[in-house]
Structure 1
Amino acid sequence: MDMLLFSLNRDTNMPLYEQLYEGIKDAIIHQKIAVGEKLPSKRKLSDFLNISQTTIELAYAQLLAEGYIVSKPRVGYFVEDIDELPFIEKTINSTPTIHKKQTYAVDFSPGKIDEDSFPFTIWRKYAKELIDSHSKELLQIGDRQGEYELRTQIASYLYQSRGINCSAEQIVIGSGTEQLMPLILRLFDDANIALENPGYSAIPRNQFEQAVIPVDVDSDGLLVDQLEKTEANLVYITPSHQFPTGAVLSASRRAQLLKWAAQKLSRYIIEDDYDSEFRYIGKPIPALHSLDQNDKVIYISTFTKSLMPSLRVAYFVLPPALLARYNEIFSYYSATVPRFDQHILAHFMKEGHFSKHLNRMRKIYRKKHDKLLSILTKHYPTIQVSGDVAGMHVLIQVPHDKEEYELQQMAKENDISILPISNYLLTAIQFESPTFLLGFGGIPIEKIEVYIDALMAAWGISKH
């Protein structure tokens, strides 16, 4: 097809990507676009509708996730046959169904933080100072890479805490890893990306037009030997605390991986340093970026674990060689994080409160971590624990005659949420026993034993 004609309303609360998604979906359902027809490229549709390619990327990703279109790597998106998809036409008197997120009395999610320890008073102070007519310039669109004040503070923090020497000009701020990854991938014309298996589930394979190559991990992290046998020229990795296994990339594999990247101009490493602030055994693990002598590492991190998930502030650090290309491709781009939020965070960091908060949270999470391990070791010795050197979750293997899915359902029936490792697999891996992520960050320390006892009771495992 030549082009998609849709009316996008910029004066409504509905995001542009959602309007575009609804328009294309409606056209497919009512057969205005034929099955098998190719959708316009993101670049062409961006120029035609005068909207960003990121907006189109989000709309296409949602259509892909719901099965309305199919992606053919390096070719494009095509309309899928939806004859078998359930569809109910809207009627004038129909009542929309509201889907509420399931909540549980006990939640072992690895993404939870300690809510009671957040410095509300200090955060409120900076928010009140900024939300005033003296800051009226913040109502306008800011720098497309994010506020310079915040980027300066991030650069200083990275140098002091992770040994990363970079400038504010190399930093790009966005509203999460999921939003920033497509920006990074668009810097490469022909990219085959390798992902850890198991790996971070918030980066689904259907997000990429590029070929995705799963590479296994073991107790020493990513199997670089396996990576070297692939056609990948990009690899996304969590070397300081592999998610979800908790493995730390060994020194020899770090050297091997950096050597792999240096062998070809097109090769780069995307290092996600998502929770390096919280390590409980030994010295902090150096960032891979700090060891890189050839500018082949793109560093990415967030404030999700260190402050709060809802802040939605993430960032990446580009090697100098990629900066010019970034500025060329994203000349139209606007930062996706509200300017007020960026300045509140910048002030919070500048006045030393971020460092103080991290020091306090390390102590709190260490106490939770130690208590969790003590309870499991003392009362449930058959449970095998791994990935316990850092972060806010551990991996547990449960010797049981039930399958992983059955154990998860048994927990849910007892109002307990716990995630199996199979949620994070790109390709099937056989584990000796059912394996789960046991998050402890959001659990009050006085309830840790009660919650673990409840989980084990749901699985029929007796306390010793």
Structure 2
Amino acid sequence: MDMLMFKLDKSTEKPLYDQLYSGIKNAIIHKQIGVGTKLPSKRKLADFLNISQTTIEIAYAQLLAEGFIASKPRVGFFVEEIDELPYVQKEILELPEARNVKRSFEFDFHPGKIDGDSFPFSLWRKYAKDLFDTGSKEFLQIGEPQGEYALRAEIANYLYQSRGIVCRPEQIVIGSGTEHLLPMILRLLENDSKFALENPGYSAIPRIHLQETAIPVPVDEDGLVIDELEKTNANVVYITPSHQFPTGAVLSATRRTQLLKWAAKDENRYIIEDDYDSEFRYTGKPIPALHGLDQNNKVIYISTFTKSLMPSLRVAYLVLPPRLLRKYKETFSYYSATVPRFDQHILASFMRDGHFSKHLNRMRKIYSKKHDKITQIFAADYPDVRITGDQAGMHILISVPLRKGEDELKQMAAENNIAIYPISDYLLGPIDYEDPTFLLGFGGIPLEGIEKGIHQLMACWGVKKVESRLP
């Protein structure tokens, strides 16, 4: 019994069975109990340690499960041989103090921020509560690989009503963000595909795996320059035609026709249309989706709920042409949807009952007021600052007539508690801009704070406010 004379402390929160298990295990590891040694019976050890047999049984069961002991029926428990693990002295590293890497600014003009104060939390909470209260056990299981049919049906209906896109729910694939869906598209296309990207353009695209091979194609006030695209050997082009990111240019009708004709010339040519913020347009009619004009099944349509609802929802979707849909089912039949089923059904119910459309209408008015406010301030107080890309979306471009570099101006703004984002962050190839140019996102700035934010930004850069022209 001496070998099991462990000191059990009944005054601590650590259970007795855990103390006994740890004591025996450590004794076995450190060879204090030899291999083949028979452990005392549960009754004898319980009497010796003055504890219950149940405590002994639980400790032995854990040792048995982990392979430290073996059981011989009607004989008892015996110590097993344990392979020794090499012991390496760990180097004690001096770790840096934990710090908050993401700095908070008084004014953050990031183009991806939304108006969080206007989100319909009470409605969203209600749908979430209703879903969980029903106790739908089937939602605990893995759902359809392409995403829940209920949500895909709502998205198909929404695309038809708002974007003129005719598609079936079966063509839609749901994923947790554009960054998740794009690699899937790349796998569906030919391995030797050559990709053309807008320059400047959406910065996450080349980081996926196209950094070295992507072909930058210039953008002007009419969008992607198709004549330049035709000079390349690309067979796939990634484009934001309704509101080019980041310049805000709209692909003209002539170039839309040119682009669709370019794609139709070869069966392996495709257009990836990113319709990331088409819901928010402030002048004229909504720009129709390129997909709606496509007669040859050459457009892969992709969009998200990032701007229309919230970035953290992480729900994006794509519409696959029939040819690629067949290949998708062959290639990704073993995949599971990356968006939780509960989130998908909450969103589907929110859309089904008309709340998504109402929310969009409300947000259009809010962002329109912010858009008008920001453009009016520049027009009245800083006329020398050139504004472009102001017809749609949740950001504009400003070009400031200063002889300083963008990095220097960005640092000056940060020192004054303002975050501003230079267009150079989105360049895929060199472009010479006459003046430093920045993206000025207004989605996350409260309406009442816009004027102060702009004046504070211009002041720190030394851009003087013009005197009032009123008599």
TM-score tier after normalising by the smaller chain length: 0.7 to 0.9
Cα distance between partner residues in 1 of 2:140 and 2:226: 47
Tell me how far 1:298 sits from its aligned partner.
0.3
Q: Which residue of 2 aligns with 1:349?
A: 351
Q: Which residue of 1 aligns with 2:61?
A: none
- Asked if the contact 1:205–1:212 (Cα under 8 Å) also holds between the matched residues in 2, the reply is no
Provide the secondary structure at the position in 1 that maps to 2:114.
coil
Q: Which residue of 1 aligns with 2:113?
A: 112
Instruction: Confirm or deny that 1:154 pairs with 2:145.
Output: no
Tell me how far 1:221 sits from its aligned partner.
0.2
Tell me how far 1:266 sits from its aligned partner.
0.1
Mean Cα displacement is larger for which, 327-336 or 93-102?
93-102
Cα distance between partner residues in 1 of 2:434 and 2:241: 24
Map 1:83-232 to 2 at 5 A.
91-92=91-92, 94-95=94-95, 98=98, 100-132=101-133, 134-189=135-190, 190-205=192-207, 207-208=209-210, 211-232=213-234
Tell me how far 1:90 sits from its aligned partner.
8.0
Q: Which residue of 2 aligns with 1:15?
A: none
Q: Which residue of 1 aligns with 2:374?
A: 372
Q: Which residue of 2 aligns with 1:284?
A: 286
Cα 1:222–1:237 shift into 2, 3 Å: same
Tell me how far 1:131 sits from its aligned partner.
1.8
Map 1:61-100 to 2 at 5 A.
91-92=91-92, 94-95=94-95, 98=98, 100=101
Provide the secondary structure at the position in 2 that maps to 1:305.
coil
Tell me how far 1:404 sits from its aligned partner.
1.2
Q: Which amino acid aligns with 2:119?
A: F
Tell me how far 1:92 sits from its aligned partner.
4.3
Cα 1:356–1:90 shift into 2, 3 Å: farther
Cα distance between partner residues in 2 of 1:351 and 1:206: 37
Q: Which residue of 1 aligns with 2:50?
A: none
Q: Which residue of 2 aligns with 1:64?
A: none
Q: Which residue of 2 aligns with 1:36?
A: none
Q: Which residue of 1 aligns with 2:254?
A: 252
Provide the secondary structure at the position in 2 that maps to 1:310.
helix
State the identity %.
70
Select which of 414, 427, 438 maps to 2:440: 438
For residues 143-185 of structure 1, the C-alpha deviation after alignment (integer angstroms, 9 at most, x for no partner) is 1000100000000000000000000000000011111100001
Cα distance between partner residues in 1 of 2:90 and 2:296: 57
- Asked if the contact 1:193–1:210 (Cα under 8 Å) also holds between the matched residues in 2, the reply is no
Provide the secondary structure at the position in 2 that maps to 1:256.
helix
- Asked if the contact 1:110–1:438 (Cα under 8 Å) also holds between the matched residues in 2, the reply is yes
Tell me how far 1:95 sits from its aligned partner.
3.5
Provide the secondary structure at the position in 1 that maps to 2:408.
helix
- Asked if the contact 1:410–1:459 (Cα under 8 Å) also holds between the matched residues in 2, the reply is yes
Cα distance between partner residues in 1 of 2:134 and 2:291: 41
Cα 1:269–1:97 shift into 2, 3 Å: farther
For residues 358-385 of structure 1, the C-alpha deviation after alignment (integer angstroms, 9 at most, x for no partner) is 0000000001000100000000011000
Instruction: Confirm or deny that 1:265 pairs with 2:264.
Output: no
Tell me how far 1:96 sits from its aligned partner.
6.2
Q: Which amino acid aligns with 1:438?
A: L
Cα distance between partner residues in 2 of 1:280 and 1:333: 40
For residues 91-111 of structure 1, the C-alpha deviation after alignment (integer angstroms, 9 at most, x for no partner) is 446446545312211100000
Greater gyration radius:
2
For residues 215-268 of structure 1, the C-alpha deviation after alignment (integer angstroms, 9 at most, x for no partner) is 010000001101111111100000000000000000000000000000000000
Provide the secondary structure at the position in 2 that maps to 1:214.
strand
Normalization by structure 1: what TM-score? 0.79
Provide the secondary structure at the position in 1 that maps to 2:195.
strand
- Asked if the contact 2:195–2:215 (Cα under 8 Å) also holds between the matched residues in 1, the reply is yes
For residues 64-88 of structure 1, the C-alpha deviation after alignment (integer angstroms, 9 at most, x for no partner) is xxxxxxxxxxxxxxxxxxxxxxxxx
Q: Which amino acid aligns with 2:379?
A: T
Cα distance between partner residues in 1 of 2:134 and 2:208: 44
Cα distance between partner residues in 2 of 1:154 and 1:161: 10
Cα distance between partner residues in 2 of 1:176 and 1:401: 39
Q: Which residue of 1 aligns with 2:307?
A: 305
Q: Which residue of 2 aligns with 1:382?
A: 384
Tell me how far 1:413 sits from its aligned partner.
0.8
Tell me how far 1:205 sits from its aligned partner.
4.2
Provide the secondary structure at the position in 2 that maps to 1:299.
strand
Cα distance between partner residues in 2 of 1:107 and 1:371: 17
Tell me how far 1:389 sits from its aligned partner.
0.2
Tell me how far 1:208 sits from its aligned partner.
3.2
Q: Which residue of 2 aligns with 1:395?
A: 397
- Asked if the contact 1:258–1:292 (Cα under 8 Å) also holds between the matched residues in 2, the reply is yes
Normalization by structure 2: what TM-score? 0.78
Q: Which amino acid aligns with 2:316?
A: A
Q: Which residue of 2 aligns with 1:428?
A: 430
For residues 95-147 of structure 1, the C-alpha deviation after alignment (integer angstroms, 9 at most, x for no partner) is 46545312211100000100111001100000001123621211111110001
Cα distance between partner residues in 2 of 1:411 and 1:228: 41
- Asked if the contact 2:403–2:435 (Cα under 8 Å) also holds between the matched residues in 1, the reply is no
Q: Which residue of 1 aligns with 2:57?
A: none
Q: Which amino acid aligns with 1:416?
A: I
Cα 1:97–1:90 shift into 2, 3 Å: farther
Cα distance between partner residues in 1 of 2:444 and 2:311: 12
Q: Aligned pairs, how many?
A: 376
Q: Which residue of 1 aligns with 2:38?
A: none
Cα distance between partner residues in 2 of 1:104 and 1:256: 44
Cα distance between partner residues in 1 of 2:237 and 2:93: 50
Cα distance between partner residues in 2 of 1:391 and 1:310: 19
- Asked if the contact 2:179–2:208 (Cα under 8 Å) also holds between the matched residues in 1, the reply is no
Q: Which amino acid aligns with 2:105?
A: Y
Q: Which residue of 2 aligns with 1:34?
A: none
Cα distance between partner residues in 1 of 2:138 and 2:302: 29
Which 5+ residue runs of structure 2 have no aligned equivalent?
A: 1-88, 467-471
Which 5+ residue runs of structure 1 have no aligned equivalent?
A: 1-88
Q: Which residue of 1 aligns with 2:362?
A: 360
